[in-house]
Amino acid sequence: MTSPTAQSLSAIDQQKKRAADYAVAKVETGMKVGLGTGSTARFAVAALGERVRKEGLKVKCIPTSEATRKQAEEEGIAVVGFDQIDRLDLCFDGADEADPKLNLTKGGGGALLREKVVAFTSAKFYCIVDEAKLVDKLYAFPLPLEVIPFALKVVEREVAALGGQGTLRQKEGKTYVTDNGLWILDCRFPPIEDPPLLAKAFASIPGIAEHGLFCGMVYELVVGTNEGIKVLKPQS
């Protein structure tokens, strides 16, 4: 598979591809790389595959979903697991929303648990997004929780107590099942004033395998624009 040419893409896809190309340019031979999931990460995996084939770039990669694993293998990218490597040099992945403090909502593609493990183990997390993902407050995109089926009702009640309302994700008329065999509860909350505080609350609820708030994890937020890219770094 080859990367699409810029001319054949919509404006939003061009933004995604610009952000993806920036992150992939950071990869050097010998690196261990985490591969995200979603339409933006897909551009990055295609661009990485192109570098592997054309430049002979040697990398070992951990994908964040079975869909990304399949794409990476088709691209000729070497895929490994955490039994073979411990730390990643960098990872690239998209987001559903990003606030000015670079808190993220992730999990629109249902891969949030593996995405968080990969981001956690990466020295540098390049979050690659189009401009539409930038928001003042995390809110409009429902916040996904990956939930152990046995605990669904318990988690729903706890989410309600926190002021949210959960909806079990469906796909093609059936309950959506993640790569980990779990379910996704998409939660609507009022605009989230303090994402780290809410993240802490989720962490204390048994039955939530992982939540889609990524706080304090981004190394650079790479925003594709119509003109080029903007790179935002966390303020210390």
Active site residues: 115
- Please tell me whether residue 111 binds ligand 5RP under the rule CB under 6 A: yes
Q: Which of 9, 12, 39, 225 is close enough to bind ligand 5RP by CB under 6 A?
A: 39
**Binding positions for ligand 5RP, 6-25, rule CB under 6 A:** none
SS3 for 226? coil
Q: Which of 24, 27, 72, 95 is close enough to bind ligand 5RP by CB under 6 A?
A: 95
End-to-end CA distance of the chain: 40
Q: Which of 3, 19, 36, 169 is close enough to bind ligand 5RP by CB under 6 A?
A: 36
Q: Which residue has the tokens 């609820």?
A: 205
The H-assigned helical ranges of the chain are 11-25, 39-55, 66-75, 112-120, 152-161, 195-203
Interacting stretch for ligand 5RP, rule CB under 6 A, among 20-28, 30-38, 44-52, 182-190?
30-38
**Nearest distance from residue 56's CB to ligand 5RP, in Å?**
28
How many other CB atoms sit within 10 Å of the CB of residue 98?
23
Q: Which of 75, 89, 93, 158 is close enough to bind ligand 5RP by CB under 6 A?
A: 93
Return residues touching ligand 5RP (CB under 6 A).
Answer: 36-40, 93-96, 106-112, 115
